[in-house]
Chains A and B, each alone.
Chain A
Amino acid sequence: MREYRDKPKHFVEPTDAEIKARTKRNVALALALLGFTAFVFVTMVSRGVLPS
């Protein structure tokens, strides 16, 4: 039996501006998550402050 695939008929290539904006968002998200991890570690985990 043939596998069902919903193939897109009108594929639109992202523009350079869209890809650039996406890269910036990805970098910002990674940095924010890294910052948040460091923040939680420094302020709470390293001090043994965790929710009961």
Chain B
Amino acid sequence: MSAASHNTDIKAASSGAAFNPSGLSLAEPSDFFALMKPRVMSLVVFTAWAGLVLAPGTMPLWAAMASIICIAAGAGASGALNMWYDADIDAQMSRTKKRPIPQGKMAPRAALGFGAVISAASVWVLYIASNWVAAALLAFTIFFYLVIYTMWLKRRTPQNIVIGGAAGAFPPMVGYAAVTGMVTLDSIILFMIIFIWTPPHFWALALYKAGDYGKVGIPMMPNVAGPKSTRNQIMIYSVVLAITAMLPIVTGLGGALYAFAAVLLNLAFLAMAYKVWLSRAGERDKAADEASLYAVQAGDRAARNLFAFSIIYLFAMFGVLAVEGLLKGLGG
């Protein structure tokens, strides 16, 4: 899809003519909440909280709560801005066509205004509640997700989610910086765990949703490099992830409890990635007979399992790290 046609689509939808003749929208508060991608926001809140707990030093409870709310709001705002820009392709994908803008409940410009106001407010309040480093990191995260990922990389390269994944990896770093006012090796490790986790997580989804992305011309890895190459890369990233996940043990950020949980979780992750690697996930187009179609379906199931498990994996990894950090704090 060319940039020109994308802009025309947005303009047509934003004019209001595509909506209600009276000019009033049908968007309800719940639609604005949906714009903020609540499921993504929950992961952001959790990892930011973990970063905050793991950071050395203390901060008042009110400031910690305000920081978490700001990080959540900033993440939600970038989700709204993403839905504003991607309204044209969201309407054509089964996974996203029920979002408020494609449904015609809300004009894209409403999402743009909402996202812009919440972005500015979240960065400003985070600055007041914590420090300028955390606020600057949050502002950069929103910029990265909207401009670098959504506008630049997503429609241009199969490496979109590899580089764009950085946006989702910043929250623990922001939480950490809210306490310390610094970016340290430990906060970079937290960033790296999510950064390396993102490609296998999204490519597992893309393997069984390849048709959806292909339909709208998004160059996801399975559409561009093929399912086999994607499965290979999922395996490679899973191995790198397992190594990265051990770094907190080396630096002392994680203790014995984390070491135990990380080994188990990464073994499980590797086992599921290996199953996908051996499978024929994502090869629906090549399935000529019934037997091969069955093999592809089984592969797709393995990819679906890996995708689901990867979410539990991240929650568990950060959960154990944070709980151990809290216990250490209580003990010390």
For A50, the chain B residues whose CB sits under 8 A away are 128
Interface pick from B21-29, B179-187, B239-247: B21-29
Question: Which residues in chain A, 1-52, are within 8 Å of chain B measured between CB atoms?
Answer: 12-15, 17-19, 21-22, 24-25, 27-28, 36, 39-40, 42-44, 47, 49-51
Is the beta-carbon distance between B128 and A51 smaller than 8 angstroms? yes
| Chain A: CB-nearest residue to B25 | A21
- B27: contacting residue among A15, A25, A27, A43, CB under 8 A: A25
Distance in Å from the Cβ of B178 to the closest Cβ of chain A?
14
The answer to whether A13 touches B128 (Cβ under 8 A) is: no
Residues of A within 8 A of B23 (CB): 12
Assess the A43–B20 pair: CB atoms within 8 A: no
Whether the pair B63, A43 counts as a contact (CB closer than 8 A) is yes
A19 and B69 alpha carbons, distance in the complex (Å): 31
Q: A24-B29, A44-B128, A51-B127 are in contact. Are A18 and B22 (CB under 8 A)?
A: yes
Complex contact A12–B26 (CB within 8 A)? no
- B193 CB-CB contact with A under 8 Å: no
Please report the C-alpha to C-alpha distance between residue A17 and residue B65 in the assembled complex, in whole angstroms: 37
Interface core residue of A12, A19, A50 (most chain B CB under 10 Å): A12
Q: Determine whether B71 belongs to the interface, using a CB cutoff of 8 Å to chain A.
A: no
Closest Cβ–Cβ distance, residue B66 to chain A (whole Å): 5
Q: Given contacts A18-B26, A42-B62, are A49 and B128 in contact (CB under 8 A)?
A: yes
A18 and B29 in contact, given A39-B66, A43-B66, A51-B128 (Cβ under 8 angstroms):
no
Cβ of B129 within 8 Å of any chain A Cβ, yes or no, is yes
Interface size on B, residues (CB 8 A): 21
For the complex, give the distance between the alpha carbons of A40 and B28 in Å. 26
| Bound CA span A49–B21, Å | 48
B129's contact among A14, A22, A43, by CB below 8 Å, is which?
A43
Contact partners of B65 in chain A: CB under 8 A: 43
> Of all chain B residues, which has the CB nearest A19?
B24
Distance between Cα atoms of A44 and B22 in the complex (Å):
42
Q: What residues of chain B lie closer than 8 Å to A15, measured between beta carbons?
A: 20, 22
With a cutoff of 8 Å between Cβ atoms, the chain B residues found around residue A49 in the complex are: 128
Given contacts A39-B66, A43-B62, A43-B63, contact A28 B29 (CB under 8 A): yes
* A47 to B21 Cα, complex, angstroms: 49
Q: Write out the residue numbers on chain B whose beta carbons fall within 8 Å of the beta carbon of A18.
A: 20, 22, 24-26
The answer to whether A22 and B24 touch across the interface, beta carbons within 8 angstroms, is yes
Q: How far is the CB of A12 from chain B (nearest CB, A)?
A: 4
A14-B24, A39-B69 known, 17 other contacts, Cβ within 8 Å:
A12-B20, A12-B21, A15-B20, A18-B20, A18-B25, A21-B26, A22-B24, A24-B28, A39-B66, A40-B125, A43-B62, A43-B63, A43-B66, A44-B128, A49-B128, A50-B128, A51-B127
B residues in contact (CB < 8 Å) with A: 20-29, 32, 62-63, 65-66, 69, 121, 125, 127-129
Q: Can you list 20 pairs linking A and B with CB atoms under 8 Å apart?
A: A12-B21, A13-B22, A14-B22, A14-B24, A15-B20, A19-B24, A21-B25, A21-B27, A21-B28, A28-B29, A36-B121, A40-B125, A42-B62, A43-B62, A43-B63, A43-B66, A43-B129, A44-B129, A50-B128, A51-B127
The 10 closest A-B pairs by CB, nearest first: A28-B29, A18-B24, A12-B21, A14-B22, A12-B22, A43-B62, A14-B24, A21-B26, A24-B28, A43-B66
